[in-house]
Amino acid sequence: MKLAVVILAAGRGERMNSPLPKVLHGIFDKPMLQCVIDSASGLKPSKIVIVVGKNYGEIKDAINKSPHPPFIKGGRGGITKGKQSSLSFVIQEKPNGTGDALVRAKSALGGLKDFIGTILVLNGDVPLITSETLKKFLSLHLRGKNDISLISFAAANPASYGRILRDRNSRINSIVEDKDATEAQRKINEVNSGVYAIKSGALALLKEIPLNIAKGEYYLTDIIGIAGNKGYKINAYCIGSEDEMMGVNTIPELMKARKIFRERLADAWIKKGVIFFDHDSVFISDSVVIGNNTTIYPDVCLEGRTEIGRGCTIYPNVRIVDSVIKDGVVVKDSTVIEGSVIRAKAVVGPFAHIRPGCDIGSEAKIGNFVEVKKSVLGGGTKASHLSYLGNASIGKGVNIGAGTITCNYDGKKKSRTTIEDGAFIGSDTQLIAPVRVGRGAYIGAGSTITKCVPAMSLSVSRVEQKNIEGWARKKFKIQSSKFKVKKKGNK
């Protein structure tokens, strides 16, 4: 089956009361539209066409900035000439309704002559729809040899949805919008999801959709009645759930969608052996992978292309983005890890910041208020507290004392610090890059190291200590007569 997907995303979203285009409001860490694109991509269509309105540039930029953006071509008036892209945009210049939007999309499909297959129509503001439901729907559509199929669902509160009208033989004959429905029709709870599968030949019916005078729009729903009257085979499959098919038009609906999304993912991981202390307070991207027997405390955010190994413990207030956490790692409270690898049985935190480009070795320890950036730390290395390690290559079994800083930036360029296996870096040390500390070398506390340190040597850089006796006694006599220093023998 040749498949193309059209996503309708030109709605103005006025009820969101926000300058941000409706489809760019986020379901956790990605826009609603990206959620729909991801579900459509799971079907491996030959084309995905997105119909947008006046916010074309803003929407395109947002999709381009996603972690793995598709290759996009497009512009005003449709797809550009050249090699076919996996995703393209078409602009609906005026908000003339869903029927007109699908007409605009035909230009990117190459017209009826060039595309023969099935067009799946989705909506950019229905972010919870899954690839699994869409695959089931397309299977029913093809098995039934229908010209047009749609997904319906039973709504607890059908108000605002289009009602599915069936004949005495339970065959669909039309869809009536809520505002156009009679009192009897409003009691019908089977409603339209807005998801259609249309044979390419049936697209010719789009030109017969009448203008709704009251709204000044062409309703795609009208194609069902037109198709039925002309003898086309149509069907509606009541396979959707209300939660999955919910459209987001207001901020409260957005909040509800986020809650459903979060619960759906947490429930799936619980079935795979992940332990949550409070899954209602955990936020997980749908691209995250978590190993079994991992324990996750409240208020944890796992985002992007993150992989968590088996038997890990993630304590409260932790945020992990686009990172790989190997088996048995412990991430303690209030830690941020971005774009890095934490190897098996390492301990990170509390209050640590692992910035992008880090590789923390197995059984290493990154402790309180330690920041690491673009650095590699070998197995068993420890930086227990209050240090900055940037642009550094640090070997195995190194001890980094409190207050250590790799001074890697001279105002023009950044240089690298290398610390070889088994070195000991005393507290309050400044390592002025570029510099190398040899294998097994010791750096005395309070040193400023500007030259390379040979292996197995001691390096000390300190100002000579000077004691001035009686200085405090003289100072306090001048500043305060009330302060008296007792002499030996005084009672």
Q: How would you class 95 by CB atoms within 10 Å of its CB: exposed for 0-12, middle for 13-18, buried for 19 or more?
A: middle
Q: How far apart, in whole angstroms, are the C-alpha atoms of residue 304 and residue 295?
A: 19
Q: Please tell me whether residues 211 and 289 are part of one structural domain.
A: no
pLDDT of 480 > 70? The answer is no
**Is 484 part of a structural domain of the chain?**
no
Q: Please tell me whether residues 283 and 383 are part of one structural domain.
A: yes
Active site residue 385: yes
**Is 385 part of a structural domain of the chain?**
yes
Cis ω on the peptide bond leading into residue 434 (within 30° of 0)?
yes
Q: How would you class 5 by CB atoms within 10 Å of its CB: exposed for 0-12, middle for 13-18, buried for 19 or more?
A: buried
Q: Please tell me whether residues 414 and 454 are part of one structural domain.
A: yes
Comparing C-alpha atoms, which of 322, 292, 295, 328 is closest to residue 307? 322
User: Are 220 and 210 contacting, i.e. CB atoms less than 8 angstroms apart?
Assistant: no
Q: Which of 213-217, 340-344, 369-373, 412-416 has the lowest mean pLDDT?
A: 213-217
Q: How far apart, in whole angstroms, are the C-alpha atoms of residue 201 and residue 212?
A: 24
> What's the confidence (pLDDT) of residue 129?
95
**Is 489 part of a structural domain of the chain?**
no
pTM reported for the whole predicted model = 0.82
Q: Please tell me whether residues 314 and 449 are part of one structural domain.
A: yes
Q: Please tell me whether residues 315 and 174 are part of one structural domain.
A: no
Residues 94-109 pLDDT 10s: 888 899 999 988 877 7
Tell me which of 25, 279, 353, 385 is the catalytic residue.
385
Q: Could you tell me the CATH number of the domain that includes residue 294?
A: 2.160.10.10
> What's the confidence (pLDDT) of residue 84?
37
> What's the confidence (pLDDT) of residue 80?
34
Which domain, by its residues, includes 397? 271-459
Q: How many CB atoms lie within 10 A of CB 303?
A: 20
Q: Give the containing element (helix H, strand E) for 463.
A: none
> What's the confidence (pLDDT) of residue 339?
97
Confidence band, pLDDT 50/70/90 cuts, at residue 465: confident
**Is 295 part of a structural domain of the chain?**
yes
Q: Could you tell me the CATH number of the domain that includes residue 197?
A: 3.90.550.10
What's the DSSP call for residue 490? -
Residue 357, both tokens: 């480009």
Q: What phi and psi values does residue 348 have, to the nearest 5 degrees?
A: -125, 130
Q: Please tell me whether residues 386 and 325 are part of one structural domain.
A: yes
When the pLDDT of each residue in the chain is averaged and rounded to a whole number, the result is 89
End-to-end CA, the chain: 102
What are the strands, taking DSSP E only, across 148-282?
148-154, 163-166, 172-176, 190-199, 211-212, 217-218, 234-238, 275-276
> What's the confidence (pLDDT) of residue 85?
39
Q: How far apart, in whole angstroms, are the C-alpha atoms of residue 148 and residue 230?
A: 12
> What's the confidence (pLDDT) of residue 484?
57
> What's the confidence (pLDDT) of residue 67?
55
Length of the chain: 491
pLDDT of 83 > 60? The answer is no
Q: Tell me, what amino acid is at 281?
A: S
Q: Please tell me whether residues 195 and 297 are part of one structural domain.
A: no
Q: What is the DSSP pairing of strand 163-166 with strand 172-176?
A: antiparallel
**Is 263 part of a structural domain of the chain?**
no
Residues 130-163 pLDDT 10s: 999 999 999 999 999 999 999 999 998 888 788 9
pLDDT of 207 > 50? The answer is yes
**DSSP secondary structure of 224-252:** HHHHHHTT--EEEEE---HHHH----SHH
**Is 264 part of a structural domain of the chain?**
no
Q: How far apart, in whole angstroms, are the C-alpha atoms of residue 109 and residue 46?
A: 10
Which whole-number Å values give the CA distances from 149 to 62, 97, 174, 232, 242, in the listed order?
A: 32, 20, 12, 11, 18
pLDDT of 69 > 50? The answer is no
Which whole-number Å values give the CA distances from 61 to 30, 55, 162, in the listed order?
A: 13, 10, 33
Confidence band, pLDDT 50/70/90 cuts, at residue 114: low
Q: How far apart, in whole angstroms, are the C-alpha atoms of residue 420 and residue 381?
A: 11
> What's the confidence (pLDDT) of residue 109?
77
Q: How far apart, in whole angstroms, are the C-alpha atoms of residue 112 and residue 106?
A: 8
At 321 the three-state DSSP class reads strand
Q: Please tell me whether residues 384 and 421 are part of one structural domain.
A: yes
Q: Please tell me whether residues 279 and 183 are part of one structural domain.
A: no
Residues 417-457 pLDDT 10s: 999 999 999 999 999 999 999 999 999 999 999 999 999 99
- Sign of the four-CA dihedral 35, 39, 40, 41: positive
Angle at 406 between CA 403 and CA 407, to 5 degrees: 115
Comparing C-alpha atoms, which of 432, 346, 338 is closest to residue 384? 346
> What's the confidence (pLDDT) of residue 476?
78
**Is 430 part of a structural domain of the chain?**
yes
Of 195 and 74, the one with more pLDDT:
195
Last residue of a domain, one of 229, 245, 261: 245
Q: Tell me, what amino acid is at 16?
A: M
Residues 18-33 pLDDT 10s: 999 999 999 988 899 9
Q: Please tell me whether residues 293 and 236 are part of one structural domain.
A: no
Confidence band, pLDDT 50/70/90 cuts, at residue 345: very high
What is the number of structural domains in the chain? 2
Q: Please tell me whether residues 236 and 286 are part of one structural domain.
A: no
What's the DSSP call for residue 200? G
Q: Please tell me whether residues 304 and 192 are part of one structural domain.
A: no
**Is 360 part of a structural domain of the chain?**
yes
Residues 291-319 pLDDT 10s: 999 999 999 999 989 999 999 999 999 99
